[in-house]
């Protein structure tokens, strides 16, 4: 080796020494020679080693010195774009973007796996089904992995791989328990060094997982070779995970091991905590894997199954179960009280307020004071029911108590729901700032909790009212994503109604029509009829009104108490909007009285605005507009005025001329026309706007005048001109006159002043 190194030194050009398949080297003397080479590396030599295992060389020392470049599995895996190029251009497949995405996810970008899958796809007639079914047992992948990897391992490694393949993640102590042996730590380290399709999950290399396709192959082989072993392996894994406090994994393994008694016990213990966190569908999935005979034999376990079904709005499934349980619980008053509480929740979901109140009252009579959790749920349910009935005062009172109870019992999900609906109470009352604080606080508790789809949606509705349309769109998208993730069709429909209103505000009537068609189909296909279907029809009528189209076809479908808007959904204002002007006066007066009586300030503002544009004369119209302005100014309502339409403009200009809420009217006019009441183009919003004098100075700065020339032009001192320029730079957030001129042009300040 010394002679070889000396020979390298005699070569003037860069040299690359490439050692391929280094993992087959077993002779320690070879490792010593390469280590010697590394210690005496010529300046012009690059050593390249390709290996499936970490070589027995001083890599750590070289790494610490920054003398090694490591290209590992994560670096070699194909990205999504590379996967698409490979499958389409190299393998010549006609494949969709979704199928490419699925293949990349299934193979984790493993190039050989992609190539083997592509070979199968060439002769496959049903590509989507193949991709969905792709596992480690697919023919080409099975053959490759068996020949190249599994069969080459010593017996003890093969046994370890097969028996631990049931685990989604591995650590030494877990593997020891599952295999009923010891020494798993050394085997895991060996697998990691050998790069045997294991992926480390932490920096300390204590937790690992198998590559997904490799794991599926191993499970396939385990079932084929040792079908009697799998159940016991899962049960031992479940025991280990339970002892370590990993509830979800423990439940998974005892279910896979068909240890039904342990599964029922674990699920029953975990249900309340998981529902508090909003993990509704996780719990439903657990229960659906249990044998029906086990549920029938245990009324308490069956009742625990009812609550996730209720929270997921699976009313048709849960109603007969609760009826059955009611018949079984006659001799146990406290248990019957629990069932009545669940039936009250069901009645609210089915829009049956009479039964909801009756069941709630009976539940409170039977539930002991010590049952704080259940009594809190009843109160929380009553609060939601009162909100849906439009009884804001009762709703606030009951929800406030329910929120306190939920916090005491650490029912996170109920507390979030109560807080969100309190925010909705505030919004209906027209207290927009207070409502926004409630929604934002709920989101701070956990943005991904399913019920917070409602907080996102309602916050977006407030942003829409404040005419913050870009922010509204972003927040609404988060609401849509979370609604889909939580599979809540009712929330998703509400998001679509708000989305259509946003599209209308931007003049995109075609997209709004498509959005409402989606909402209508969603309501029809998922069976959430009733009030939500009526709200979709109201939103459709609003679209036609906004586009200047006749609404006769909608009138027959509109309910008097349905609106598409989330915060005056009880008022039936859309039906009044569709009436001819001569018929609407009496209806609008009745709605005004109802809104005042029920404390629906949001709706009352909109009633006043419709009354203003339908008034017989200017005096009546101005009075109605003034009433709306007084109610709306403190909370910065904007879109309610804008969406009333151009018919409101003359009255707004008259109000401004008569000094009625002048600054507020100016902001509304700017939102409606882009100009103030004097017809000048509106200036962009600034935290500290430029004064009229500063605007004059700014236009002269942009014209290239010096401070002295500005002073002469405006008949002020040079020092005063300099002070104005300094203040302008501070307000615009720039450092000098040049940056100020650029920023002013970007913001349109100069054009505004010149016009």
CA dihedral 28, 33, 39, 40 (to 10 degrees): 180
Which residue bears the tokens 């989101």?
443
Binned at pLDDT 50, 70 and 90, residue 144 comes out as low
pLDDT of residue 630: 95
DSSP state of 571: S
Per-residue pLDDT band at 432 (split at 50, 70, 90):
very high
What angle do the packed helices 372-389 and 392-408 form, to 10 degrees? 160
395: CB partners within 8 A, 6+ apart: 383, 384, 386, 387, 421, 425
Quick one: 34 exposed, middle or buried, by C-beta within 10 A (0-12, 13-18, 19+)? buried
DSSP secondary structure string for all residues of 718-755: HHHHHHHHHHHHHHHT-SSHHHHHHHHHHHTHHHHHH-
Measured in degrees and rounded to the nearest 5, phi and psi for residue 588 equal: -65, -35
Per residue in 257-286, pLDDT (tens digit) is: 999 999 999 998 998 888 877 788 889 999
DSSP symbol at 210: E
CB 330, CB 308: distance < 8 Å: no
The model's pLDDT over 5-62, given as tens digits with 9 standing for 90+, comes to: 888 888 888 999 999 989 888 888 899 899 999 988 888 899 999 987 788 888 888 8
pLDDT at 678 over 60: no
| Fold type of domain 292-476 | 1.25.40
Average pLDDT over residues 607-611: 93
Residue 699 has pLDDT above 80, yes or no: yes
Look at residue 255 and tell me whether its pLDDT is greater than 90: yes
CATH architecture of 692-754: Orthogonal Bundle (1.10)
CB-count exposure of residue 747 (10 Å: 0-12, 13-18, 19+) = middle
| Alpha carbon distance 499, 516 (integer Å) | 9
Q: How many residues does the chain have?
A: 755
CB atoms < 10 A from the CB of 734, how many?
Answer: 16
Quick one: what percent of the chain has pLDDT higher than 70?
90
Higher model confidence: residue 660 or residue 375? 660
The predicted structure's pLDDT at residue 319: 92
User: Residue 695: which H helix or E strand, with range?
Assistant: helix 692-702
Residue 514: alpha-carbon gap to chain centroid: 23
List helix spans (H) across 206-298.
Answer: 212-225, 230-244, 247-256, 260-276, 280-289, 292-297
282 and 274 Cβ atoms separated by less than 8 Å:
yes
Q: What's the mean per-residue pLDDT of the chain?
A: 84
Has residue 529 got a pLDDT over 80?
no
pLDDT at 108 over 80: no
534 neighbors 574 (Cβ within 8 angstroms): no
Give me the pLDDT at residue 556, please: 44
Q: Check residue 147 and give its pLDDT.
A: 62
Structure tokens at 268: 């029953």
- Per-residue pLDDT, averaged over 224-235, amounts to 89
pLDDT of residue 463: 95
Beta bridge partners of 49: 19
Q: How far apart are CA 311 and CA 457, in angstroms?
A: 19
What pLDDT sits at residue 754? 33
**CA-wise closest residue to 546 among 518, 510, 505, 498:** 505
Per the structure block, which two tokens stand in for 200?
A: 């480390």
Whole-prediction pTM value?
A: 0.56
- Predicted confidence at residue 251, as pLDDT, reads 93
How is 627-638 classified by DSSP, letter by letter?
HHHHHHGGGT--
Q: Which of 234-248, 543-557, 704-718 has the lowest mean pLDDT?
A: 543-557
Exposed / middle / buried, residue 692 (Cβ in 10 Å: 0-12, 13-18, 19+): exposed
Residue 239: CB atoms within 10 A of its CB come to 18
| Strands 45-49 and 15-19, bridge-based pairing | parallel
83 three-state secondary structure = helix
pLDDT for the residue 424: 93
The mean per-residue pLDDT over the stretch 524-544 comes to 79
CATH number for the domain formed by residue range(s) 482-673:
1.25.40.10
Contact 250, 270 (CB under 8 A): no
What are the residue ranges of helices labelled H in 52-196?
59-64, 73-76, 80-85, 97-107, 111-121, 127-133, 139-148, 155-164, 172-179, 184-193
| Interval 176-220: pLDDT, tens | 999 998 889 889 988 887 666 788 888 888 899 887 777 887 888
DSSP string, 479-510: HHHHHHHTT-HHHHHHHHHHHHHHHHHTT-HH
Q: Do the beta carbons of residue 698 and residue 750 sit within 8 Å?
A: yes
Q: Is residue 232 within 8 Å of residue 244, measured between CB atoms?
A: no
Instruction: Decide if 429 contacts 601 (C-beta within 8 A).
Output: yes
| Residue owning tokens 């009712």 | 490
DSSP 102-132: HHHHHHTT-HHHHHHHHHHHTT-S-HHHHHH
Using 50, 70 and 90 to split pLDDT, how confident is the model at 74?
A: confident
231/257 Cα distance (integer angstroms): 4
Whether the pLDDT of residue 123 is over 60: the answer is: no
Residue 752: per-residue pLDDT: 41
With CA atoms as reference, report the closest residue to 225 among 270, 291, 158, 315: 158
Task: Note the pLDDT of residue 244.
Answer: 92
| pLDDT over 50 (residue 695) | yes
pLDDT at 753: 39
Q: Is the pLDDT of residue 111 over 80?
A: no
Give the bridge partners for 209, in sequence order.
199
Q: Which of the pair, 446 or 82, is modelled with greater confidence?
A: 82
pLDDT at 550: 60
Token pair for 154 = 């010593």
**Cα 414 from Cα 70, distance rounded (Å):** 50
| pLDDT class of 583 with cuts at 50, 70, 90 | confident
In the chain, where are the structural domains located?
2-70, 76-134, 292-476, 482-673, 692-754
Domain 292-476 matches domain 482-673 at the CATH topology level: yes
């Amino acid at each position: 080796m010394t002679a070889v190194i000396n020979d390298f030194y005699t070569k003037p050009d860069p040299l690359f020494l490439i050692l391929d398949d280094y993992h087959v080297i077993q002779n320690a003397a070879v490792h010593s020679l390469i280590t010697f080479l590394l210690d005496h590396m010529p300046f012009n030599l690059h050593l390249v080693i390709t290996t499936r295992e970490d070589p027995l060389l001083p890599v750590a020392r070289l790494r610490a010195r920054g003398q090694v470049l490591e290209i590992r599995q994560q670096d070699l895996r194909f990205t999504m774009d590379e996967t698409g190029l490979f499958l389409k251009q190299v393998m010549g497949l006609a494949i969709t973007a979704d199928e490419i995405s699925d293949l990349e996810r299934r193979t984790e970008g493993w190039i050989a796996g992609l190539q083997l899958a592509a070979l199968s796809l060439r002769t496959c007639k049903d590509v989507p089904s193949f991709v969905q079914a792709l596992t480690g047992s697919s023919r080409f992948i099975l053959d490759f992995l068996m020949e190249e990897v599994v069969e080459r391992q010593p017996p003890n490694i093969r046994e370890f791989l097969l028996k631990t393949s049931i685990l989604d993640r591995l650590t030494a102590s877990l593997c020891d328990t599952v295999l009923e042996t010891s020494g798993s730590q050394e085997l895991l380290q060996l697998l990691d060094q050998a790069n045997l399709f294991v992926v480390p999950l932490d920096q300390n290399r204590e937790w690992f997982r198998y590559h997904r396709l490799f794991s599926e192959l191993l499970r396939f082989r385990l079932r084929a070779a040792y079908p009697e072993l799998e159940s016991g392996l899962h049960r031992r894994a479940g025991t280990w995970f339970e002892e370590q406090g990993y509830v979800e994994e423990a439940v998974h393994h005892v279910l896979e091991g068909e240890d039904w008694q342990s599964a029922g016990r674990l699920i029953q213990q975990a249900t309340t905590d998981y529902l508090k966190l909003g993990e509704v569908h996780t719990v439903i999935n657990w229960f659906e894997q249990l044998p029906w005979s086990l549920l029938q034999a245990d009324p308490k376990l069956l009742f625990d199954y009812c609550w996730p079904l209720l929270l997921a709005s699976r009313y048709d499934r849960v109603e007969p179960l609760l009826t059955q349980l009611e018949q079984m619980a006659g001799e146990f008053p406290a248990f019957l009280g629990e069932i009545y509480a669940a039936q009250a929740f069901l009645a609210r979901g089915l829009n049956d307020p009479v039964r909801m109140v009756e069941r709630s009252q009976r539940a409170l009579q039977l539930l002991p004071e010590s049952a704080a959790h259940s009594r809190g749920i009843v109160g929380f349910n009553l609060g939601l029911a009162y909100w849906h009935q439009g009884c804001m005062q009762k709703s606030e009172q009951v929800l406030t108590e329910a929120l306190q109870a939920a916090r005491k019992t650490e029912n996170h999900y109920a507390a979030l729901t109560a807080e969100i609906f309190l925010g909705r109470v505030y919004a209906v009352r027209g207290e927009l700032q207070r409502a926004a604080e409630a929604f934002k606080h709920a989101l701070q508790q956990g943005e991904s909790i399913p019920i917070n789809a409602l907080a996102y949606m309602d916050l977006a509705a407030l942003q829409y009212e404040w005419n913050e349309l870009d922010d509204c769109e972003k927040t609404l998208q988060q609401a849509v994503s979370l609604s889909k993730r939580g599979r809540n069709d009712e929330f998703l429909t509400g998001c679509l109604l708000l989305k259509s209103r946003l599209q209308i505000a931007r003049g995109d009537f075609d997209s709004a029509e498509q959005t409402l068609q989606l909402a209508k189909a969603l309501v029809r296909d998922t069976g959430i009829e009733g009030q939500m279907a009526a709200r979709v029809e109201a939103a459709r009528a609003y679209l036609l009104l906004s586009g200047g189209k006749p609404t006769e076809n909608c009138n027959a479908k509109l309910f008097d108490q349905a609106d598409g808007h989330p915060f005056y959904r009880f008022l039936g204002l859309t039906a009044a909007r569709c009436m001819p002007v001569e018929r609407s006066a009496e209806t609008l007066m009745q709605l005004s009285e109802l809104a005042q009586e029920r404390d629906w300030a949001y709706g009352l503002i909109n009633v006043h605005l419709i009354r203003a544009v339908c008034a017989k004369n200017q005096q009546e119209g101005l009075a109605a507009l003034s009433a709306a302005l007084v109610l709306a100014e403190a909370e910065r309502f904007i879109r309610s005025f804008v969406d009333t339409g151009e018919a409101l403009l003359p009255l707004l200009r008259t109000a401004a001329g008569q000094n009625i809420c002048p600054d507020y009217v100016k902001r509304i006019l700017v939102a409606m026309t882009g100009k103030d009441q004097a017809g000048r183009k509106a200036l962009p919003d600034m935290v500290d706007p430029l004064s009229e004098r500063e605007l004059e100075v700014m236009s002269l700065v942009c014209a290239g005048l010096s401070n002295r020339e500005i002073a002469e032009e405006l008949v002020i001192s040079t020092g005063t001109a300099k002070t104005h320029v300094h203040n302008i730079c501070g307000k615009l957030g720039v450092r000098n006159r040049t940056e100020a001129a650029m920023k002013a042009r970007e913001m349109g300040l100069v054009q505004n002043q010149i016009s």
